[in-house]
Each structure stands twice: as C-alpha cells, then as structure tokens.
Structure 1
Amino acid sequence: MTSVPFSASSPGPTALPPAEDDGGRRHGEYKVPGGKLVVADLEVADGALSRVSISGDFFLEPDEALLEINHSLTGMPADAGAADLAAAVSAALPADAVLFGFSAEAVAITVRRALAKATGWGDHRWNLIGPSVLPTHVNVALDEVLTEEVGAGRRNPTLRFWDWEEPSVVIGSFQSVRNEIHPEGASRHGISVVRRISGGGAMFMEAGNCITYSLYLPQTLVDGISFADSYAFLDAWVMAALQKVGISAFYVPLNDIATDQGKIGGAAQKRLANGGMLHHVTMSYDIDADKMVEVLRIGKEKLSDKGTTSAKKRVDPLRRQTGLARAEIVAAMMEVFTERYGATPSELTDAELDAARLRVENKFGTMEWLHRVP
C-alpha cells in the first residue's frame, strides 16, 4: 500500500479552474437536486459583479422577474457570501413571483461557482479507495487524517470504503459512553468501543454486517447549500447505486437513509477549520439484531421518534432487500461513483497510515478521548 496519488514534484490536487472566456466573462452552473439547472454568466469590475445574466431550464413567473434577479446581483461585492447573494435576490423579487425548480439560494450557489468560490463535483479530480481490512480505531483515525489532507490540498477529494474484522461500536462525537453502551454486553461479545469525530448516533459493526464509506471533500463543494440539504446532495450518487441494485431509497431528514421497508443507514459530517469536510455513511447489510440490543442502549425516546417500539424492527438489512452479496453492492457503488465523477483508483499512502496509527496512539485509542463525554 505504497502508491501515492500525486508526486512530490507535481503541483498537488487542486480544483479545476472556473470557466472564463477571453473577455473575462465567468460562467457557473448548478443543478438543483431534484430540480432544474441554473446558469450564471457574469464579469467582475472593481471588485463587484457586473453584466450578470442568469439563465437555465427552470420556470419563473412573471418573465420580468428574471431582469430583477440580474439587477439585484449587479453591483454586489464579488466576495459576498451565498447568504447575502440569496438575500439580495429574494428582496428584489416581486411579491407575486413564482420560482419552480430553483430558488434564490440556487442562484447564489451558481454565482459563487462562477466566481470559483463554490465548486461542483466536476470541478475536482476524485480518487476512490476500495475496501481494505483495518482496525476500527485506524479507520476512525483515517477519517480525521484524510479530511485534513484534502483540506490542505495534499490529497484529491476521495471516496474510501471501510473494512474491518473486530466487532465494534463507533459512537458519535457527543454521545455518552455510559448512556449508549451496555458494558456487560460489550464485554461478553468482545466489542471494542471507539469514538469518531463526527456527531450522530452509535454504529454497531461486525465484519461483513454493514457497508461504511467516507467522503473527504473541500467545503467549497457544499458552499451555499444548507447543512440539512448537504446530506442528500452528497449522497445523490448512492441513491443511484442503490437503484441499480433494485432498492428505491430516499433521505429522511436530517441524516437517515430509508426505503419503504424501513431505515437502512445513517450519515454524519464534520467540517474542519482548514476547509476539509468529512461525510460518512453506514448502511446495515446483515446485522445481528439480538446482539445489537445486548450491546447498545436504545432508549424509548429514540424508538418513539422513529415510530416503533422495538429496536429489532429498525434493522432492515440490504441483504434481505437485494439478495446480493455485500461485495456486489459495494462494487455497484464504486462503479456508479466512478462513472459519475470520473474517479480514479487510489490507495492509502504509508505516510497516511502512519499518521493514522499515531493518531490512534495519541487520541482515538485513549481513555481520555473515549470518555470525553462519560
């Protein structure tokens, strides 16, 4: 596992440059998830937006509202944030305006993309790391290490699939060990308990019982997209992959992935100060529900929120819904991601693995980190 995604002499992974014609005109596009395409063409003069033209295959009434959108953006500072741009558009729209397939926020994202302040999937060179068996502590540490590497520009944005052997519970960054774990059950079943850097709930993980992947990306990819909407946005490719294997899945806000037969997975995120972002998902494949409830404390309040009285009924494995081997489902996911985003194969470098193991020694494997919320 020594291949390196770029050489020391190369300029390193960077976002592709924004489209710009010879006259300095800038171009950005944004496809609204489940909606329409929005296009922005503009110039920048003296630090402000100029000659702004918004177009696309959306629907807008009345026609004159499009001119109001363009006028509202003209003169705005080129470094204005997405929220300010969206507010300017909203304020300029007539009271009877109807936007179908897009929104003021979508216009703001498109403008930010034209300015190279926000990026799209196609603006990056993606890497894909297939599953390799690693200790759960190392998998968790790699999430922090690789997110930092992407944020610093030393690694291309990357999708990595996990694999592991030892039975584990991975708890969210803010969960209480005492409230989440039955110590007797964990000890009886030889369960290691690990705390990750993202929020969210506990994951019960045995070899082959679930599918876990992590996306390491620059925060520019979700610039202007709300925290809630970013979950479905980053997992649109997963929905396509599940459809390919016969599963019609959808997001249940904030972070659950479900089918009409029940929940199949959940997502969590962490954004770092250096601009890197982690988005990871675990989906149940063939979970031992009896063992899970002996290890995890699943409170009545959480069960009532999910509309069920039995924790076992919440486990609805992919195996039952597809009849496919876990490896076949992972392969379908990798294939769809590669086809959509032009991802190229990559491997963990020795330096990244060494950094993760050191992080386990100094952080993720320590009692101080595990019990930071007792």
Structure 2
Amino acid sequence: MAQRWRLIESGPGEPAWNMAVDEALVTRQSRGESPPVLRLYTWNPPALSLGYFQKKMTGIRFDLLDKLGIVPVRRSTGGRAVLHYGDLTYSIAVSLGQDIPTGLVDSFRYLCRGLLVTFASLGIEARLGSERLRKPFPASCFAVATPGDITWHGRKFVGSAQKRYESTILQHGSILIRSQANILSEIFSSEEEVNSQALLDKVTCLEDILERHVTLEEVSEALTSGFKKALNIDFQHDELNSEEEMLAASMIGKYSKLI
C-alpha cells in the first residue's frame, strides 16, 4: 500500500522564511500532526545558506554578496555553504522507522532513491557521491560529494543535508538547474586561483548535462513522479495551513542571524 505524503509546491520565498517553513513542517510531522511532506521551492532574493555548524566564514566574499543582491541565511541542517541561484530546493519531513532506515548514511541513500529515479527519467545516469568531508573543511558545499549528494560523471549537481528531531528528520537539498559558475568563482574566492578552478571542475547543472533549457516546472514534475515511483508514495497536493504559517512566523527570527 502506498504511503500518503503531502506535496507542497511553494512560490519564491524570502530566505529566512524558507528555512522557518522547513522547521515548522518537520516540527508538526514529529508531533504526529501531519503526514510526511515533500516541499519544492525557490528563493527570492537569491541566498547563500550556511550550514548550522559552519562558524568559520573564511573563503566567502560577504562583501560581494551584498553587491550581487544575495542574502546570507543560516540553515538548521549541517554541511557547508550553498548558493541558491538558479536552483530548485526540495525538503522532506518524515519520521524514521518502517521504510525509512534509522542510520544516517542509509537514510540518505533511501531518500535519494527518489532523486536518482527522477534524473533517470530525464535521461541522466546520476550516482550518489562517495567522498568524505575532511579538514580543512571547504567553504562551499559543492566542493565535496558525500553519500547524500548526487553526481554526474563525478561532478556534483545536488547537495543535501539532514537534521534529526528525535525520530523525525528534515532533509533538504539544492538541485542546480542553471550554471552558477561565474558567481561561484567570485563568492568562494581563494588566494590560490587553482582552488577556485578546482571548485568549478567539481560542479555541473541540469542544463549543462542535458545541453538544453530546463524549466522549474519540468524538474518539479519529474521529482514528484520520481519520488512516487521510487518510494511508493501517494501524494496529496497541499498548501501551508494557518498553524504552519504561524509556527514558521514564530521561528523566522533565528534564521535572520548568522551567528
């Protein structure tokens, strides 16, 4: 029997609001007040989301963020900085157990099956990353492809992260649709030019892979079908309810501060 999940497709959201909504959804799911949720959304204005434990800000040109109209925001999940510019973000709020493995790597692999089936439907032979995050940690999330990330020919185009709320997890990630190459090389600067080029060599996007224009609607439809097929899900199209909106509003302040 198929699992019943909510599917929420949000319009462009302000960075702190996007992060607060994700926490509100996983909070209600952990209380048993909501079925599991898959949410798809974009960012307006563009943002640079920093991992929860990413306290050291070296390697990021914050002076350029302001000039480019990119807003820095803190995530509740771990990992390194992600540029939300020409991407589609997904988030999942679901409880562990039953079909969802409890182990960190295993839960990533299970949920990422939905992504792999999605990209296969688009004609992309994608794979999970296999690298380990080692010190010194890079500033950019896309510098390393861990088992929770998705690659094509060794180049990363989906970066994901998790946070656990007892037996419930929030997993969200960025799917690169359009190239970020020019902006990435400016924001994640280094004294050694070779390091900036090394980052660009590790990253790709759907439009570069498919060699054509790709729309948000196309990717959203493929994601819905991919997760439905891979995880045996019956989606119910839904919107945020008033309780979730109020809960997100009460949490938005902490995401507006980087420290």
Q: Secondary structure at the match of 1:327?
A: helix
Q: Residue 39 of structure 2 aligns to which amino acid in structure 1?
A: R
Q: Secondary structure at the match of 1:181?
A: coil
Question: Is 1:234 the equivalent of 2:125?
Answer: no
| Residues 248 and 299 of structure 1: CA distance in aligned 2, closer, same or farther (over 3 Å) | farther
Q: Secondary structure at the match of 1:179?
A: coil
2:41 maps to 162
**For the residues of structure 1 that align with 2:120 and 2:90, how far apart are their CA atoms?**
18
| Residues 299 and 237 of structure 1: CA distance in aligned 2, closer, same or farther (over 3 Å) | farther
**For the residues of structure 2 that align with 1:225 and 1:293, how far apart are their CA atoms?**
37
Following superposition, the deviation at residue 139 of structure 1 comes to: 0.8
Higher normalized contact order (CA 8 Å, seq sep 6+, divided by chain length): 2
Question: Is 1:278 the equivalent of 2:170?
Answer: yes
Over residues 208-231 of structure 1, what are the superposed CA-to-partner deviations in whole Å (9 max), with x where a residue is unaligned? x11210010012256654311221
Q: Residue 283 of structure 1 aligns to which amino acid in structure 2?
A: I
2:143 maps to none
Q: Secondary structure at the match of 1:358?
A: helix
2:240 maps to 348
Q: Residue 238 of structure 2 aligns to which amino acid in structure 1?
A: S
**For the residues of structure 1 that align with 2:208 and 2:91, how far apart are their CA atoms?**
24
**For the residues of structure 2 that align with 1:195 and 1:178, how far apart are their CA atoms?**
12
CA contact (8 A) 1:146 1:216 kept: yes
Q: Gaps (5+ residues) in structure 2?
A: 131-146
Over residues 60-105 of structure 1, what are the superposed CA-to-partner deviations in whole Å (9 max), with x where a residue is unaligned? xxxxxxxxxxxxxxxxxxxxxxxxxxxxxxxxxxxxxxxxxxxxxx
What root-mean-square deviation, in Å, do the aligned CA atoms of Structure 1 and Structure 2 show?
Answer: 2.2
Q: Highest CA radius of gyration, 1 or 2?
A: 1
| Residues 244 and 315 of structure 1: CA distance in aligned 2, closer, same or farther (over 3 Å) | same
Q: Please give the residue correspondences for 1:128-207 in structure 2 after superposition, counting only pairs within 5 Å.
A: 128-176=7-55, 178-206=57-85
**For the residues of structure 2 that align with 1:299 and 1:240, how far apart are their CA atoms?**
40
**For the residues of structure 2 that align with 1:299 and 1:173, how far apart are their CA atoms?**
26
1:314 maps to 202
Q: Please give the residue correspondences for 1:321-332 in structure 2 after superposition, counting only pairs within 5 Å.
A: 321-322=209-210, 323=212, 324-332=214-222
The partner residue of 2:122 within 245, 248, 251 is 245
CA contact (8 A) 1:264 1:284 kept: yes
Q: Gaps (5+ residues) in structure 1?
A: 1-121
1:19 maps to none
| Residues 255 and 338 of structure 1: CA distance in aligned 2, closer, same or farther (over 3 Å) | closer
CA contact (8 A) 1:198 1:268 kept: yes
Question: Is 1:291 the equivalent of 2:183?
Answer: yes
In the TM superposition, structure 1's runs of 4+ consecutive aligned residues that sit over 3 Å from their partners are: 221-225, 297-300
Following superposition, the deviation at residue 289 of structure 1 comes to: 1.5
**For the residues of structure 2 that align with 1:180 and 1:276, how far apart are their CA atoms?**
33
Q: Residue 351 of structure 1 aligns to which amino acid in structure 2?
A: E
CA contact (8 A) 2:12 2:41 kept: yes
CA contact (8 A) 1:261 1:316 kept: no
**For the residues of structure 2 that align with 1:222 and 1:342, how far apart are their CA atoms?**
14
Q: Residue 327 of structure 1 aligns to which amino acid in structure 2?
A: E
Q: Secondary structure at the match of 2:4?
A: coil
**For the residues of structure 2 that align with 1:365 and 1:222, how far apart are their CA atoms?**
35
**For the residues of structure 1 that align with 2:181 and 2:26, how far apart are their CA atoms?**
32
Q: Which TM-score applies when normalising by structure 1?
A: 0.59
Q: Which TM-score applies when normalising by structure 2?
A: 0.83
Q: Secondary structure at the match of 1:201?
A: coil
Identical positions, percent: 25
Over residues 108-156 of structure 1, what are the superposed CA-to-partner deviations in whole Å (9 max), with x where a residue is unaligned? xxxxxxxxxxxxxx57421111232211111111111111110100111
Q: Secondary structure at the match of 2:162?
A: strand
Over residues 12-67 of structure 1, what are the superposed CA-to-partner deviations in whole Å (9 max), with x where a residue is unaligned? xxxxxxxxxxxxxxxxxxxxxxxxxxxxxxxxxxxxxxxxxxxxxxxxxxxxxxxx
**For the residues of structure 1 that align with 2:60 and 2:72, how far apart are their CA atoms?**
8
**For the residues of structure 1 that align with 2:186 and 2:55, how far apart are their CA atoms?**
17
Q: Residue 230 of structure 1 aligns to which amino acid in structure 2?
A: S
Over residues 227-276 of structure 1, what are the superposed CA-to-partner deviations in whole Å (9 max), with x where a residue is unaligned? 11221111112111110011111101332210116111111111013x32
| Residues 353 and 177 of structure 1: CA distance in aligned 2, closer, same or farther (over 3 Å) | farther
The partner residue of 1:265 within 133, 148, 158 is 158
CA contact (8 A) 2:179 2:208 kept: no
